Amino acid sequence: MTTHSASIYLDLYDQHAALLASRSNAVMNERRADARARLAQYGLPTSRIERYKYTDAAAAFAPDYGVNLHRVCSVSDPYKTYRCSVPNLSAVLRFVVGDVVMPAAPTAVLPEGLRLYSFAEAAAADDAALLARYYDRLARESTDGVSALNTLLTQDGLVVHLAAGTHLKSPLQIVNISAADLDMLSSRRLLIVAEAGASADILICDHSAGEHQYVSTEVIEVFAGEGSHVGLYTLEETHTTNRRFCHTFVEQAANSHVQMGSVALTSGLSRSTTDVVLRAAGARYDGVAAVIADAAEHIDHNVLVRHAAEGCQSDMLYKYVLDGDSLGAFAGKVLVEEGAQQTLSQMTNANLCVSPTARALSQPMLEIYADDVQCNHGSTIGRLDDAALFYLRQRGIAEAEARLLLQHAFINDVLQRIPVGILRERLAMLVERRFRGDLRCSGCALL
Amino acid sequence: MLEIRNLHAAVEGKEILRGVNLTIGDGEVHVLMGPNGSGKSTLSNVLVGHPKYEVTEGSVTFNGKDLLALSPEDRSHEGIFMSFQAPIEIPGVSMTNFMRAAVNAKRAYYGQEPLAATEFLKLLREKRKLVGLDAHFMSRGVNEGFSGGERKRNEIFQMAVLEPTFSILDETDSGLDVDALRIVADGFNQLRTAKTSAMVITHYQRMLDYLRPDFVHVLVDGRIVKNGTAQLGYDIEEKGFDWIKDEIAQ
Ligand SMILES: Nc1ncnc2c1ncn2[C@@H]1O[C@H](COP(=O)(O)OP(=O)(O)OP(=O)(O)O)[C@@H](O)[C@H]1O
Ligand SMILES: [Mg+2]
């Protein structure tokens, strides 16, 4: 079922296929025909599609956005002009402006065992083999038209490869900047492969410059090898004119541990889709999200965790503080497949609506085809506790400040679950500043 | 210090206080007694400005100011403190952060700089000692996982930190074991000065023994029906409230 907005992009692709191909890595080009067929088949999802019932993607893509076919970049040297509010976090930093991957800083030195490069930079035979093996392997199985659109139009992206046993001491950071001189669609791509026993934490910061309508799709594929650890944290601090569709696919081998943390501070529309497969025994997935939204922001997390092997664990905590006319949606499903005995799973979504017009939609689901499992799920939607508010005010704390303390307290246990100390502290600081209203991620704006 | 005149108040449309008159002078400790449901906590909540309680008639003057015109936080800054009958839990807001916010809000009200971190921690340490509250409570959420008695102790600790001029203790003694009651009452007595006053709500004689109040008042059905000295409190302990109710009936 081709929706109208899908046909815009199918036509655009058909017109410019040769140009797109000429500027992209061969492995990307190889996947386009299939992506085109899937986009034509599934269309861009409207809210009639179950997994998109809280977010009408087709409507979000309906304006005819420009695509950066000519690889123009409006920011010349982000390493000089950009300063992230999470400073000195990482020696390993890459910028992506729109969907143009910027070259690494000349001074950058990668730790032993880490390869970080763009698809365009992939050179060695080893790189080509890696891309051929992993690129689009998970995304291609999806019936999601948005990820098909990404595969159809993406021209570059980043690859993180961790050799077996590699242990990164400090987090690696990727900064995405939505910057354009006109309304724009960008298609970002990230491939993370952690070989057996490797461990790393990766922070992705999403920022924006300029106030043009901006829609980004991003597809992240994570392959966590046996016994590996991957921490993937996302900080979203963009603009109300931004629409972001991020689809993360995770495949976990035996005894691997993947932790995802998402902190949304400011955006327009943000839809995060996360598909996790726990493929072999002993794999463990932890997902947390802290959403702070106000005005007309629309934040939607959609999570599917498949327990495909026995003895795996998943633990999810999604918390939303919703103010103004914002809408926070959560739909999560834990699917325990036949034979996935001794599954342990917990999924919680809690919402705090601090204004009368904020709305929370919550749907945690369980589908179980094994008998020896322990699965819990639940959701709550509440308001600020009047008794607590009054207690604080009686002690002299002004109402606005008291509300802030309570909101911060509500969201704080999500932050406490971020195991990397330096990341946890910085994110907590940003959350605090966001609540105080003095965050337009000033440290991270273009100087 | 405090002058309550013909105070009427309602909660959820139901009139609870039906003309309370009470004057409390500097340095005085008044005990308020009365049967369950007579309106003691309602009076306390009205004085601290709880939004659920609606004043329908009357006035309250506090050190010359119209108390009822002030926000709850400003009443606090002006020196009014209430030890809640049932202190609630506020998970996730640590005691330290809570007290820092409270202390600095009051300082800001009087045009003072926030307290330096070391000064603040010293203050907490001193006041904890006064009521025998262990340091580890400070890193917990407000009353989070505190026992009933610990919560009451925590109320007096907060009172000690904020140094109010007028304190309302709403059954702070109930739920405390004998030792804790002595510690809390001693703490309270140490905070007393010629400039501070208190309204203490209690059902028990032991509190009268410790606090040696200047006056005792009896609230029945939303009105103060009897005034006396500490002796009145002992009479109530012995004979209950019925004889007072009989007196009014006549
Ligand atoms: N928030 C409220 N909502 C509804 N009713 C209330 C509320 N607060 C008080 N009341 C009612 O007002 C009346 C007086 O209650 P109050 O708590 O003031 O009594 P009290 O004298 O403090 O009693 P106790 O000795 O049991 O503490 C009671 O009938 C009570 O049910
Ligand atoms: Mg009471």
**Interface predicted TM-score (ipTM) of this complex, two decimals:** 0.97
Lowest mean pLDDT among A105-114, A274-283, A338-347: A105-114
> In angstroms, what is the span from residue B83 Cα to ligand 1's centroid?
16
- Asked whether residue A17 carries a pLDDT value surpassing 60, the answer given is yes
Q: Which residues of chain B have pLDDT under 50?
A: none
pLDDT at position A107, please? 78
Residues in chain A closer than 8 A to B84 (CB atoms): 391, 394
Confidence of residue A85 (pLDDT cuts 50, 70, 90): low
Q: For residue B116, what is the DSSP state?
A: P
Residue A327 lies in a domain: no
- Asked whether residue A86 carries a pLDDT value surpassing 70, the answer given is no
Q: How far is CA A294 from the centre of its chain?
A: 20
Crossing angle of helices A399-416 and B95-109, in 10° steps, is 150
Per-position b or e across B180-190, b if 16+ CB within 10 A of its CB: bbebbbebbee
Contact B48, A394 (CB under 8 A): yes
- Asked whether residue A446 carries a pLDDT value surpassing 70, the answer given is no
pLDDT at position A75, please? 73
Residue A322 lies in a domain: no
- Asked whether residue A436 carries a pLDDT value surpassing 80, the answer given is yes
d(CA A55, CA A60): 9
- Asked whether residue A447 carries a pLDDT value surpassing 60, the answer given is no
Structure tokens at A29: 């080009």
Q: Which helix (H) or strand (E) holds A378?
A: strand A373-382
d(CA A133, CA A129): 6
Confidence of residue A83 (pLDDT cuts 50, 70, 90): low
Residue A38 lies in a domain: yes
User: Cβ neighbours of residue A345 under 8 Å, at least 6 residues apart?
Assistant: A305, A307, A313, A314, A315, A334, A336, A366, A373, A374, A375, A376, A377
Please name every residue paired with A266 in a beta bridge, in sequence order, or none if there are none: A237
The structural domain count of chain A equals: 1
Confidence of residue A410 (pLDDT cuts 50, 70, 90): very high
d(CA B48, CA B73): 9
Nearest CA to ligand 1 atom 26: B36
Name the pTM for this structure. Answer: 0.90
Residues in chain A closer than 8 A to B92 (CB atoms): 408-410, 412-413
Tell whether A413 lies on the interface with B, counting CB pairs under 8 A. yes
Residues in chain B closer than 8 A to A388 (CB atoms): 88, 90
| Position with higher pLDDT, B208 vs A73 | B208
> In angstroms, what is the span from residue A107 Cα to ligand 1's centroid?
70
Contact B187, B130 (CB under 8 A): yes
Residue A215 lies in a domain: yes
Tell me the CA end-to-end span of chain B in Å, nearest whole number.
Answer: 34
Minimum-distance ligand 1 atom for the alpha carbon of B53: 1
Lowest mean pLDDT among A95-104, A222-231, B38-47: A95-104
Residue contact A396–B51, C-beta within 8 A: no
* Domain enclosing residue A39, as ranges: 4-280
d(CA A154, CA A118): 12
Q: Please state, as a whole number, how many other Cβ atoms lie within 10 Å of the Cβ of residue A125.
A: 8
For an interface test with A, give the residue of B47, B70, B71, B98 to mutate (most A CBs within 10 A).
Answer: B98
pLDDT (average), residues A361-367:
97
Residue A363 lies in a domain: no
Residue A196 lies in a domain: yes
| Position with higher pLDDT, A67 vs B31 | B31
Q: Which residue of B has its CA nearest to A405?
A: B93
Structure tokens at A194: 């952690």
Residue ranges of domains in chain B, CATH in brackets:
2-249 (3.40.50.300)
